[in-house]
């Protein structure tokens, strides 16, 4: 490899310096600072006091920390696979040559460009236990069932019943699959038509073609969406924060990042919040590494 | 590229010799300079001092951050205008700030706070403990402002560790607001019930036990009888119908619920003579008053049904709107402050209402109980002009300042002495009840602990679990108190590390 003359290196560095300075000021410094603060008792307003691993030890015995971590993992465990499967199915449907194809593609992508706060407010109305849209639709169903069975069942209170709060968030999350669908759609258009034609000649039905041709060919994209899904799911914040700011009944929907935010900005426990952020970082690294290890043998790279 | 001697030389250029590389280098250097220039203010925030600003006529400009908007903001501006007109040395410039707590925290941490900030009394202790406020003792002493001139509870909530950190600006005490027509209608429906429980047709009783009897008489439910839906009073339900509330009926209107609104839910224990800590180092999960408070909260879902209550609440409008359930007469009794007058006057001017002290578990031991709180003026630590800021705060605390601000905001003065004109001109016909309550021996404040906001959160969780019948009062309280104790211990450990230095610093500052 040729070495760049020093002057050219300097010129190049000067060109990228706006980004470098931005990276240093807005990313590297906060990262380093938060690592340091995670070992301190820091309330933002006064100087941090070094306490070693005190915050991490506190975290280990903080029941709400564990509960928020469990809630987040539960959410991720369902939201990621459901999101991936639904996105892929929608992408496959939108990839079919059909009348109004571009209209459908636009409609499916639209929710992704609506601000999350606005979407959350709409969900708040949809899931409202008394006058929500969902229960409005369910009420006739329940009435019919009650009429037959002679029971008095009522539609559930989605945002209040502790066993329903996490499923409600998962359901709300599925609404915004537009971005993932677009990525799948792009990759589907790279699948050679000849493979489908050969399979069709061999008598493969649509499900076989999807499983044996589409999925292997687009496996790198599935892997990419899986990793992005893990990162996004573990950092879910806006929807639970708007729908259930107190974490819901018995903190059943208190997500990790919401608890982190509470510690940082409501309780001024910035040192503890920084430690939580680093633990979250490590969890995401481990999950990503695990996903990479597990999926290594199943990903097909045409160029490899 | 090597020079070919056979090639014709390019025509001589008349301008300076500017190579492509040097142009690129120039652009690169320019970009770097711009980026550095943009980043410099960020990098140096807190390291540089803002220059003083002056009005064209040479008055020093003081920055005053205040959270009020609308008519409350207008009243604050009237106070500022009066002060600016009263002297010619400084000019107070009010800026309306939303999300005051976070912005004040960040500005103070960044070393660039306003000269004066309007915040809440519950901020005083945690901020003082973190050295984010300027102690006012010396300034107020020099300006002749003394505790004896103020309603004690408001002065005291501005102090911590024997230092004065704030001055009260607008006070509040909480009283039970009740709908007179609904009580009269309930009485007309069942006069015998009222007689049996020794209830008045005109006002709620002073004790919790009878208050709950009135609550039941005011509560209207919908129930199916013989296949037909009908609305009846809760007191008219059969024992069998009351036994399974969620299955038997739904709520149409409530007499009272501690969750309407839920603002004070972690503080209702004060009406039960409870306390959440020993004032020093221990929280009190076994306090009988706390247990009684949570059992009272538990009595609501047990009588009316947890699902019924949740459904009823989810259909109610928000506080500052015409759909507020007190305005729409869906809730007959509410714990509120003097500001409620403004909303009633706006959204339900024809409502016939009154106020009195919220009932107590034992009204003899605890006569006229109330929760008091106030908005306060503080000088953040690091403010550039504390002496000038203190003069404005002293003006705001004077009788003239207090009456200007609080008449405008429909509240009352924090001073013991109030002019006759203030009450004469005050539109709220019940304002003197709030004043009396604030002077009551049973007037309480939020606990003077730095972790109160976190403790409050834990108690809210406990109430929520009890209200949904997912935990018993004892279990919920034990859990909340265990977490609060853990947090209190952490805070005390921190104070042990920095406390001595802090106290010395504060002593020096007030000398």
| Mean pLDDT within B386-414 | 96
Residue of B nearest to A160 (CA): B310
* DSSP letter string, A150-192: T-------TTTSTTTHHHHHHHHHGGG-HHHHHHHHHHHTTS-
Mean pLDDT of chain B: 91
pTM: 0.84
Indicate the Cα dihedral angle B175, B178, B183, B184, nearest 10°. Answer: 110
Q: Which of A32-36, A238-242, B37-41, B367-371 has the lowest mean pLDDT?
A: B37-41
Statement: residue B140 has pLDDT above 60: yes
Percentage of chain B lying above the pLDDT 70 cut:
90
Confidence bin at B26 (pLDDT 50/70/90): low
Confidence of residue B315 (pLDDT cuts 50, 70, 90): confident
Contacts of B470 in chain A (CB under 8 A): 162, 249-250
What is the pLDDT, as a whole number, of residue A175?
86
In this prediction, residue B5 has a pLDDT band, given cuts at 50, 70 and 90, of very low
Pick from B25, B106, B470: CB nearest A162: B470
Q: How far apart (Å, rounded) are the C-alpha atoms in residues B348 and B342?
A: 10
- With beta carbons less than 8 A apart as the criterion, state whether A38 and A277 touch: yes
Which residues of chain B neighbour A267 with C-beta distances below 8 Å? 451, 453-454, 457
A160 Cβ under 8 Å from any chain B Cβ: yes
Q: Is the pLDDT of residue B47 over 50?
A: no
Torsion of CA B302, B305, B311, B315, to 10 degrees: -60
Prediction ipTM score: 0.79
- Grouping H, G, I as helix, E, B as strand and the rest as coil, residue B4 is coil
Q: What is the pLDDT of residue B151?
A: 96
Looking at residue A45, its pLDDT comes to: 86
Contact flag A44-B314 (C-beta cutoff 8 Å): no
| Interface A-B: count of C-beta contacts within 8 A | 115
Query: Which residue is it, tokens 């990839």?
Result: A95
A178-213: pLDDT as tens digits: 999 999 999 998 899 899 999 999 999 989 999 999
Predicted confidence band at B21 (pLDDT cuts at 50, 70, 90)? low
Both tokens of residue B496? 């042990």
Confidence category of residue B10, pLDDT binned at 50, 70, 90? very low
CA of residue B78 relative to chain centroid, distance = 23
pLDDT at B349 over 70: yes
Residue B156 to residue B170: CA distance in whole angstroms: 14
Q: From the CA of A16, how many Å to the nearest CA of chain B?
A: 8
Question: Helices B399-408 and B386-397, interaxial angle, to 10°?
Answer: 70
Confidence of residue B4 (pLDDT cuts 50, 70, 90): very low
Burial (CB count within 10 angstroms: exposed 0-12, middle 13-18, buried 19+), residue B364: exposed
- Inform me whether the C-beta atom of residue A64 falls under 8 Å from chain B C-beta atoms: yes
Question: In this structure, what are the phi and psi dihedrals at residue B66, rounded to the nearest 5 degrees?
Answer: -135, 145
Helix (H, G, I), strand (E, B) or coil at A25: helix
> How far is CA B264 from each of CA A26, A249, B99, B334, B335, rounded to the nearest angstrom?
40, 18, 20, 11, 8
Residue B10 DSSP one-character state: P
More confident residue, B365 or B11: B365
Nearest CA in chain B to A15: B28
Looking at per-residue pLDDT, the higher value among B438 and A128 belongs to B438
pLDDT higher than 50, residue B442? yes
Q: Which token pair is B251?
A: 């709520």
Tell if the CB–CB gap between B453 and A12 is shorter than 8 Å. Answer: no
Q: Does residue B3 have a pLDDT over 80?
A: no
**Subunit contact B35:A41, Cβ cutoff 8 A:** no
Average pLDDT over residues B290-311: 96
Q: A183: how many CB neighbours lie within 10 A of its CB? A: 17
pLDDT lower than 50: segments of chain A: none
- To the nearest whole angstrom, how far is the Cα of B470 from the nearest Cα of chain A? 8
Give CA angle at B313 (B309, B317), nearest 5°. 160
Contact A154 B307 (CB under 8 A): yes
Mean pLDDT computed over B313-336: 93
Write down the pLDDT at residue B35.
58
Are B169 and B158 contacting, i.e. CB atoms less than 8 angstroms apart?
no
Selection from B220, B221, B178 nearest residue B200 by Cα? B178
Pairing of strands B370-378, B443-444: parallel
């Amino acid at each position: 490899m040729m070495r760049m003359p020093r002057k050219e290196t300097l010129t190049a560095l000067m060109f990228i310096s706006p980004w470098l300075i931005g990276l240093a000021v807005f990313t590297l410094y906060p990262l380093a600072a938060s690592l340091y603060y995670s070992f301190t008792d820091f309330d933002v307003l006064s100087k941090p006091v070094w306490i070693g691993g005190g915050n991490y030890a506190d975290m280990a015995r903080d029941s709400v920390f564990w509960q928020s971590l469990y809630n987040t993992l539960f959410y991720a465990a369902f939201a990621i696979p459901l999101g991936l499967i639904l996105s892929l199915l929608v992408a496959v449907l939108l990839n079919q040559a059909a009348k109004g194809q571009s209209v459908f593609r636009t409609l499916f992508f639209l929710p992704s460009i609506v601000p999350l706060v606005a979407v959350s407010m709409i969900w708040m109305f949809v899931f409202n236990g008394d006058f929500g849209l969902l229960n409005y639709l369910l009420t006739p169903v329940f009435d019919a069932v009650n009429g037959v069975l002679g029971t008095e069942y009522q539609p559930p209170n989605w945002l209040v019943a502790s066993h329903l709060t996490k499923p409600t968030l998962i359901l709300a999350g599925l609404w915004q699959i537009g971005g993932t669908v677009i990525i799948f759609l792009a990759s589907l258009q790279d699948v050679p038509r000849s493979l489908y034609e050969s399979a069709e000649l061999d008598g493969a039905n649509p499900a076989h073609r999807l499983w044996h041709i589409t999925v292997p060919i687009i496996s790198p994209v599935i892997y990419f969406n899986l990793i992005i899904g893990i990162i996004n799911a573990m950092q879910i914040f806006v929807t639970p924060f708007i729908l259930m700011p107190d974490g819901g009944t018995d903190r059943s929907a208190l997500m990790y990042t919401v608890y982190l935010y509470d510690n940082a900005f409501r309780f001024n426990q910035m040192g503890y919040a920084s430690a939580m952020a680093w633990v979250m970082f490590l969890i995401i690294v481990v999950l990503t590494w695990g996903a990479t290890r597990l999926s290594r043998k199943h990903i097909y790279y045409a160029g490899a | 590229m090597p020079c070919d001697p056979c090639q014709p030389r390019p025509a001589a250029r008349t301008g300076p010799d500017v190579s492509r590389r040097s142009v690129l280098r120039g652009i690169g250097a320019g970009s770097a300079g711009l980026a550095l220039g943009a980043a410099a203010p960020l990098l140096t925030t807190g390291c540089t001092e803002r220059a003083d600003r002056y009005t064209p006529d040479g008055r020093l400009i003081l920055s005053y951050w205040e959270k009020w908007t609308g008519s409350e903001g207008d009243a604050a501006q009237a106070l500022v205008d009066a002060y600016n007109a009263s002297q010619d040395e400084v000019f107070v410039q009010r800026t309306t700030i939303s999300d005051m707590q976070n912005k004040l925290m960040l500005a103070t941490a960044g070393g660039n706070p306003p000269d004066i900030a309007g915040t809440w009394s519950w901020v005083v202790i945690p901020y003082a403990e973190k050295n984010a406020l300027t102690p006012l003792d010396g300034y107020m002493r020099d300006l002749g402002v003394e505790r004896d001139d103020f309603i004690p509870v408001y002065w005291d909530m501005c102090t911590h560790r024997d230092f004065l950190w704030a001055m009260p600006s607008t006070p509040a005490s909480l009283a039970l607001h009740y709908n007179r027509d609904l009580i009269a209608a309930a009485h007309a429906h069942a006069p015998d019930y009222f007689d049996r429980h020794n209830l008045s047709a005109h006002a709620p009783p002073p004790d919790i036990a009878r208050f709950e009897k009135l609550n039941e008489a005011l509560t209207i439910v919908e129930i199916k009888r013989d296949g037909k839906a009908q609305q009846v009073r809760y007191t008219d339900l059969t024992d069998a119908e009351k036994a399974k509330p969620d299955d038997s009926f739904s709520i149409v209107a409530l007499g009272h619920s501690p969750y309407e609104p839920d603002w004070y839910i972690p503080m209702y224990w004060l009406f039960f003579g409870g306390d959440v800590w020993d004032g020093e180092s221990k929280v009190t999960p076994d306090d009988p008053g706390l247990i009684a408070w949570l059992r009272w909260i538990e009595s609501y879902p047990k009588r009316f049904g947890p699902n019924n209550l949740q459904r009823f609440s989810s259909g109610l409008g928000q506080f500052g709107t015409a759909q507020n359930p007190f305005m729409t007469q869906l809730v007959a009794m509410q714990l509120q402050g003097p500001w409620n007058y403004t909303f009633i006057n706006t959204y339900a001017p024809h409502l016939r209402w009154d106020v009195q002290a919220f009932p107590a578990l034992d009204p003899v031991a605890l006569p006229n109980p109330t929760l008091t709180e106030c908005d306060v003026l503080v000088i953040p630590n690091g403010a550039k002009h504390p002496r000038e800021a203190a003069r404005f705060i002293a003006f705001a605390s004077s009788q003239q300042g207090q009456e200007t601000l609080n008449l405008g905001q429909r509240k009352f003065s924090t001073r013991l002495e109030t002019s006759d004109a203030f009450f004469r001109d005050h539109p709220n016909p019940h304002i003197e009840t709030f004043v009396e309550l604030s002077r009551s021996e049973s007037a309480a404040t939020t606990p003077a602990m730095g972790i109160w906001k976190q403790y409050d959160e834990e108690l809210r969780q406990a109430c929520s679990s009890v209200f949904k019948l997912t935990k018993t009062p004892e279990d919920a309280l034990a859990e909340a108190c265990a977490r609060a104790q853990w947090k209190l211990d952490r805070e005390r450990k921190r104070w042990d590390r920095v406390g001595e230095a802090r106290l010395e610093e504060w002593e020096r500052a007030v000398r």
